[in-house]
Amino acid sequence: MDFFDVVNARRSVRRFLPDPVDRADLERIVAAGVEAPSGCNLQLRQYVIVDDSALVERIRPMSKALAGAPAIIVVLVEPTGTKYGEFWVQDASAAIENMLLAAVALGYGSCWVEGQVRPREDDLRKLLGVPEALRVWSLMPVGKPAETPPRPPKPAPGEITHHNAFGRR
């Protein structure tokens, strides 16, 4: 797919068909995350690919956005600052967006699930054996979409873009 077709086709998919996802595809998606920029190149991210169906079933109830998902990528991040400031949230975010787009390019749906991770972070940590030094930051379901979500309202680029000075269109 053309890059801009991928960008425009991406939607938050929250319902999935049960078809399993190839481990190689999940690894390609993670590899796209690895390629994302990283503040001071500290590379603070790690990933847990969960494709064991019994384990997936234990995670699914944590968010409605995981309904039927055959696989889940769990994003871990080490909350370490740099001499310029804290960039680890941005590091995780850059990787997640790369992975969401990679999933679309490979024909899968996904969703950035973070709001519902915070209250379940300790449960996920225990379930996956994640060390205390890492935050369990986001989940990404991956699977063939069982829905085609409509594009939600977004501003037209021209409404929020300024040329050389604020307010200058």
The answer to whether residue 78 forms part of the interface with ligand FMN (CB under 6 A) is no
Q: HEC profile for 14-50? A: CEECCCCCCHHHHHHHHHHHHCCCCHHHCCCEEEEEE
Site for ligand FMN in 141-160 (CB under 6 A): 149, 152
Assigned token pair, 87: 């960039």
The residue (of 70 and 109) whose beta carbon lies closer to ligand FMN is 109
Q: Do 89 and 96 touch, CB atoms closer than 8 A?
A: no
Site for ligand FMN in 52-71 (CB under 6 A): 63, 65
Shortest distance (Å) from residue 83 CB to ligand FMN: 26
Shortest distance (Å) from residue 62 CB to ligand FMN: 9
- 3-class state of residue 81 by DSSP: coil
Site for ligand FMN in 99-118 (CB under 6 A): 111-116
**Secondary-structure breakdown of the chain: helix, strand, coil percentages, each rounded to the nearest 5:** 40, 20, 40
Q: Between 11 and 40, how does the x/- string for binding to ligand FMN read (CB under 6 A)?
A: xx-x--------------------------
Nearest to 48 by CA among 71, 27, 74, 28: 74
Binding site for ligand FMN (CB under 6 A): 11-12, 14, 63, 65, 111-116, 149, 152
